[in-house]
Amino acid sequence: MMLYTVSIIFGAIVGSFLNVCIFRLPKEESIIWPGSHCPHCENPIKFYDNIPLISYLLLRGKCRYCRGAISAQYPLVEGITALSSFILFMRFGPSLSYLIYFAFVAALIVITVIDLNHQIIPDVISLPGIGVGLLASLILPQFTFFDSLKGFLLGGGSLFLVATLYQWLFRREGMGGGDVKLLAMIGAFLGWKAVILTILLGSLVGSITGIIVMVLKGKDFKYAIPFGPFLSLGAVISLFYGEELIRWYIHLNR
Ligand SMILES: [Zn+2]
């Protein structure tokens, strides 16, 4: 019980750091220094105003000094990260698997929010992520290095092929190189079966969302919505329900 609470608090603290990454990585600023400032009045944020989730509620979403609005993105990211930590801890217990998969999900959270805000997936997350995923396979009991390598190659290779083909057919870029590197990272962490599942789930949810956006906003098909968040969502579903989904699919086809 105590440990579950610790996993939630740990998740919220990590989430607070992810917020810093989300704001500073696209601007290529240091994520260590300087400390956080209010974006409106530039006042440094005191440590007691920087408590994940709680400070936002106590300050009712406003800066202590200038009453400028604090983005709801801060508590949202902290809450989602805390929840992810808790769910992963329930699944894997106090283990290296928990830490590795939590780092993986944390990377996906940062990538998703940056891709939604700026339509880019920073290489500084996806490229080291590939390395960490390959190395983690040497430690993870669920998994062999060969599984991870196959996932990396299939993830990077398949999307690279689709992106090249699309560009050749339509003479414009449909999928960013960032998506290719993201799926390579997902493959390195989860293996080749999860890559297929991630593409299927990501495309399915992405198309449905795309159609809804087109209908609601009246935008045409060229209006590209970022694919990174859907790949990330597909990867998280694969991580939690991958085995069940594959078993269900095989059962369906017998
Ligand atoms: Zn302020």
Per-residue pLDDT of 49-105, as tens digits, reads 889 999 999 999 999 999 999 999 999 999 999 999 999 999 999 999 999 999 999
Ligand 1 center to 68 CA (angstroms) = 5
Ligand 1 center to 71 CA (angstroms) = 12
CB under 5 Å of ion ligand 1: residues: 38, 40-41, 63, 65-66, 68
Per the CB < 8 A criterion, the answer to whether 57 and 47 are in contact is no
Supply 117's token pair.
């805000």
Q: Which of 103, 123, 117, 119 is nearest to 18 (CA)?
A: 103
151-169 pLDDT, tens digit each? 999 998 887 787 788 778 7
**pTM given for the model:** 0.90
73-82 pLDDT, tens digit each? 999 999 999 9
Ligand 1 center to 43 CA (angstroms) = 6
Q: Is it the case that residue 132 has pLDDT exceeding 90?
A: yes
Per the CB < 8 A criterion, the answer to whether 19 and 73 are in contact is yes
The CA-atom distances, in angstroms, between 236 and each of 31, 48, 88, 103, 202 are 25, 33, 11, 12, 10
Ligand 1 center to 237 CA (angstroms) = 38
Ligand 1 center to 44 CA (angstroms) = 9
Ligand 1 center to 5 CA (angstroms) = 32
Per the CB < 8 A criterion, the answer to whether 156 and 184 are in contact is yes
Ligand 1 center to 55 CA (angstroms) = 14
Ligand 1 center to 83 CA (angstroms) = 29
Share the mean pLDDT of the chain. Answer: 89
Ligand 1 center to 62 CA (angstroms) = 8
Ligand 1 center to 54 CA (angstroms) = 18
CA distance 169 to 159: 15
pLDDT class for 42, splitting at 50, 70, 90?
confident
Ligand 1 center to 37 CA (angstroms) = 8
Ligand 1 center to 15 CA (angstroms) = 21
Per the CB < 8 A criterion, the answer to whether 22 and 73 are in contact is yes
Ligand 1 center to 17 CA (angstroms) = 20
Ligand 1 center to 39 CA (angstroms) = 7
The residue with tokens 């599942």 is 197
